[in-house]
Amino acid sequence: MANAWAIKIVELADGTVAFQPDVAGATPGQPLGVKAGDLVTWNNRTNQAHWPVATSSQTFLTNEIPAGQVSDPIFQVPNSENRVRYSCRHHPQEQGVIEVVP
């Protein structure tokens, strides 16, 4: 059975934005560890739109996420990748990683 995970899009104290796994003890910029087939959403907790897009493959992640909203559709982690690197289409300096573990 697939597990469901979330990644928060957060504004840091210095005004920059980061991706942070929504798991206990996670820090901004830390990769999210998942299994193939798991489901991932992004929760935009900022006041601007963000759009996570894969940079390591042609994998579609989700549509643009308006301020204060959750991603749609939900991303299902493919069996074909060990790592999904992504950045924000609007702000390329905002980068994250989903690690696919066995």
Round the CA-based radius of gyration of the chain to a whole number and report it: 12
Residue 91 sits in a domain whose CATH number is: 2.60.40.420
30-75 pLDDT per residue, tens = 999 999 999 999 999 999 999 999 998 999 999 999 999 999 999 9
* Dihedral sign, Cα of residue 15, residue 48, residue 83, residue 25: positive
Q: Where are the beta strands (DSSP E) in 45-94?
A: 52-54, 75-76, 83-88
DSSP E strands in 1-102: the ranges are: 4-11, 17-21, 32-34, 39-44, 52-54, 75-76, 83-88, 95-100
The tally of domains found in the chain comes to 1
Is this model's pTM higher than 0.85 or not? Answer: yes
Q: Which domain holds residue 94?
A: 4-100
